Amino acid sequence: MGKSISILDNYYIQWIKELSRRYHRSQIKAAVKVNEEMLRFYWELGRDITEMKAESRWGSGFMKNLSKDLKDLNPDATCFSQTNLLYMKNFYQLYQPCTEITPQFEEQITQQVVEQNQSLITQQVVEQIQKDMFSVPWGHHIRIIDKCKDQPQKALFFVHQTVVNGWSRNMLLNFLDTDLYERQGKALTNFTRTLSEETSDLAQELTKDPYNFAFTGITGRYNERLLKDSLLNNITQFLVELGTGFAYVGKEYRIQVGSTENLIDLLFYNLNLSCYVVIEVKIGKFEFADVGQLGGYIVACNHTLRKEGRDNPTIGLLICKEKDRIQAQYALESSSQPIGISEYELEKFYPEKIEGTIPTIKEIEAKLNEREFNTKN
């Protein structure tokens, strides 16, 4: 055999590196394509089961028989378990209402579109939904199906967020368990009045109410410094909770206004909005003065940090422990600066009326004794 040699030519070395990059890109594309084709097959199988009313037609043991027959014909396949077949049916039934242009679907969509572009935009929405659906791994879909039964809009929200943010399965599970769908875009804001139409919609969607700060681990008494320190000690989780595109700039960020030095609680930059975001965290109840203070910081950032032609106007976000919605709304109306007001939670609480919903040890023992007595007699 000939002896291998090492080629040190720079052109050759760069070519090898480029070939390696191309190979990895092709692997990713192939994996995505395989996933898409598999999901389409699952979708069609779920559709067949639904449209043929197979379980009514062939009896309650249909899924078990179908699983066995498909395994016999495809011994190398691992996807035909009875459980997975049921997920395929649920996959189709959950998303089907949002993948066809029905009168009900058009009514939902047309509330958000211009009348003359209605049919075009509706078709674009359907195509985007289908593209997102078949881009998400099957394991992700199973988790979404489990958590979003009979809620197609909520399911599609998590599908789209997974595509946009590249969420792992664990990350998806984390957000499914934190009521992200219910919290997303829910902050009280004056963005529609203080920002351009395009920017205000995106800014609103980046807000939450309430913010979930359970990752700080705070359970006892605390002050604002402890809370802010805990947020930054868990900066990765804090950034994830804030949402897409946030980059940390500084804590107690010094900004000079005339002869006075001011300290901004937390300063971020959002890459999607191309703007600075001033965040003030308050451990007490919202007060009118909070908006005045935050508004001053926003103006100061616009004068000293914002670069004309590169950065959009600075946005402020006030996150407090508690707020009166009417008072907060009045405060927002009084400000000419773009501000959002949200609350935060440090832990998930049980419902107030939990008593009586969970059986006590005595109740469990009594039930067991009752069953034992009935069995003997």
Question: Tell me, what's the pLDDT at 5?
Answer: 54
Count of structural domains within the chain: 2
Which tokens belong to 152?
Answer: 């197609």
First to last CA, the chain: 87
Closest CA to 186 of 158, 203, 207, 202: 207
Q: Which domain holds residue 231?
A: 187-345
Q: Are residue 176 and residue 199 in the same domain, yes or no?
A: no
Q: Are residue 173 and residue 209 in the same domain, yes or no?
A: no
354: in domain = no
339: in domain = yes
350: in domain = no
Q: Are residue 114 and residue 138 in the same domain, yes or no?
A: yes
Q: Are residue 127 and residue 210 in the same domain, yes or no?
A: no
Q: Are residue 74 and residue 199 in the same domain, yes or no?
A: no
Q: Are residue 117 and residue 200 in the same domain, yes or no?
A: no
108 burial class (0-12, 13-18, 19+ CB within 10 angstroms)?
A: middle
Closest CA to 317 of 188, 182, 192, 196: 188
Question: Tell me, what's the pLDDT at 114?
Answer: 39
- Residue 297 · residue 317 · CB < 8 Å: no
Q: Which residues of the chain have pLDDT under 50?
A: 103, 105-106, 108-121, 349-361, 364
Q: Are residue 35 and residue 156 in the same domain, yes or no?
A: yes
| Euclidean distance between CA atoms 123 and 117, whole angstroms | 10
Q: Are residue 216 and residue 90 in the same domain, yes or no?
A: no
The residue length of the chain stands at: 377
What's the predicted TM-score (pTM) here?
Answer: 0.72
**Which CATH number characterizes residue 208's domain?**
3.40.1350.10
| Euclidean distance between CA atoms 250 and 257, whole angstroms | 18
Q: Are residue 86 and residue 221 in the same domain, yes or no?
A: no
Q: Are residue 173 and residue 236 in the same domain, yes or no?
A: no
| Euclidean distance between CA atoms 155 and 95, whole angstroms | 8
Question: Tell me, what's the pLDDT at 366?
Answer: 56
Closest CA to 155 of 133, 138, 137, 135: 133
Q: Are residue 40 and residue 171 in the same domain, yes or no?
A: yes
Rg (CA), the chain: 27
Q: Are residue 206 and residue 334 in the same domain, yes or no?
A: yes
Question: Tell me, what's the pLDDT at 45?
Answer: 93
Question: Tell me, what's the pLDDT at 198?
Answer: 84
**Last-in-domain residue among 182, 197, 224:** 182
DSSP class of residue 169 equals H
